[in-house]
Structure 1
Amino acid sequence: MSAIVNKVSLWRLFYSKNIKKPKILDSWLNYLEDDINNEIPKTITYDTWRIFPQFVEFIQLNGYQSYDDNEAWPCLFGGFVEYYQKTI
């Protein structure tokens, strides 16, 4: 089982018990599972895990169009925003 599959399983497990499941969670997990996205790192950093709730809140309050690559977000979030904007 790949590292990404393990991480996705952990996210699903964590949010299955959380009544405040982020609206973007399914899109985020689809992005991580999508084999087409070669820029996805083999591991998801602690920083990505730690900042994910802040990223979710930012997107829910401001929308994807407000995301700025020049801000201090993990690179994986920038790839996700591009992926999401291409799939809508």
Structure 2
Amino acid sequence: MLPHLRAFNGKIEEKAAWSRGLFISYSGFSEDGLFAFGRGKKVICMDGRDIYEALSRSIALDQVIIEKARQAASHGPIFKRVTDMLDHLKS
């Protein structure tokens, strides 16, 4: 997964400074892989569990993406679970 994240990040870096990319992995991400990829990137990540949690709680995916981007900008991690952001998400 790490090579795919790096390649995707490279494509995003070629875009406008305000650009951000959403990388979706059905099977999730390893903590080691996310740590190795680093913080402060223009990429945010979502996995199958995030999509399931959002849909089962009737949370709009655009709201999830907005909150993931906000969390990444203010705290640094490119991946934060939907269940860890429920207080910030509107259902």
| TM-score normalized by the length of structure 2 | 0.30
| TM-score normalized by the length of structure 1 | 0.31
Q: Whose strand fraction is larger, Structure 1's or Structure 2's?
A: 2
Q: Whose helix fraction is larger, Structure 1's or Structure 2's?
A: 1
Which has the bigger relative contact order, CA under 8 A and spacing at least 6? 1
